[in-house]
Amino acid sequence: MLRLIRCELWKLKRKRFVQLVIAAAFLFPAVLTFFFMNWEQVWQKCSTQAEAFDLMWQSVLGFGIQLLMPCIIGIIAALLFFMERDNDTFKSLKTIPVSSTKLVLAKVALLFLFSIVFCTASTIASVFCGGIAFEVQGIGYKLWMSVKMGIYITAGTLPLVAVIVFCSKSYIFSILLCVFYSVLNEAGTFVMNALPKAVVYLMPVPLTTLWSADDMQKHMIISDPKDLQSFQELIPSEAEVAAILFGTALISVFFMIKLYQRRGE
């Protein structure tokens, strides 16, 4: 399995999009640090530099990770799953002892690995950039939260990946689908009170937003903790988040494996 993951990683190295995505992980923290340094309302709302940094990092988490990650994961998945089709190498893979199950699992594992690297890099960049103007605290917690957020967002995005694999259309169609999915999830965070609880829990970004906001309230300096009071009935536990997202992930992976097996036949 490790060899398969390494092979998939070598394939991605040829694509400049991956390098651009890694660079984007450092772009958001730099831009947001500059923005927060010069925004007077931030200093009116925050009483300390540590509080200002926590607010800035939450913005990186919301825009740089939760908004971008579904789109990025979907596009990288399209690159991974379309390579065999575009290069006409799917038949060649059937001549070696590699099952469709192992091939799909290797690609999915690489998606999780990439998301962890991206989210961790975003937080590290936030610490370096934010350390210039703010007081940085709780680095360990923020790194751990970034890792978990990357895993959860990727798990919740696998249904989108399954749709991309099923449709097997052009890259443009896949990109548009990813953008629509990301915008739909982000929009869901602004109307959570108006949506049924079941719908909110089926959308990875609103679901992780509720859980992470409640968790950060216990470990970080929150400027206005009263904002969460209107969502108390919706806030899930981490066990519920993991069960929902990994449940949908398992169903999506099973569906992708069946698609690959059918193509092999």
Q: Residue 137 pLDDT more than 90?
A: no
Collapsed DSSP state (helix, strand, coil) of residue 261? helix
CA distance 33 to 19: 22
CA distance 123 to 125: 5
CA distance 89 to 211: 42
Q: Could you tell me what percent of the chain has a pLDDT over 70?
A: 80
Q: Contact 139/52 with Cβ under 8 angstroms?
A: no
Buried/exposed 41-63: b ≥16 CB within 10 Å, e otherwise: ebeeebeeebbbbbbbbbbbbbe
* Residue carrying the six token digits 């890099």: 121
Closest residue by Cα to residue 28 from 52, 57, 71, 70: 57
Helix ranges (DSSP H) in 94-138 = 100-133
Residue 83 exposure: Cα atoms within 13 Å on the Cβ side: 20
How is residue 80 written in tokens? 């991974």
pLDDT digits 0-9 by tens, 208-230? 888 888 888 777 655 555 566 66
pLDDT digits 0-9 by tens, 140-171? 888 999 999 999 999 999 998 888 888 877 77
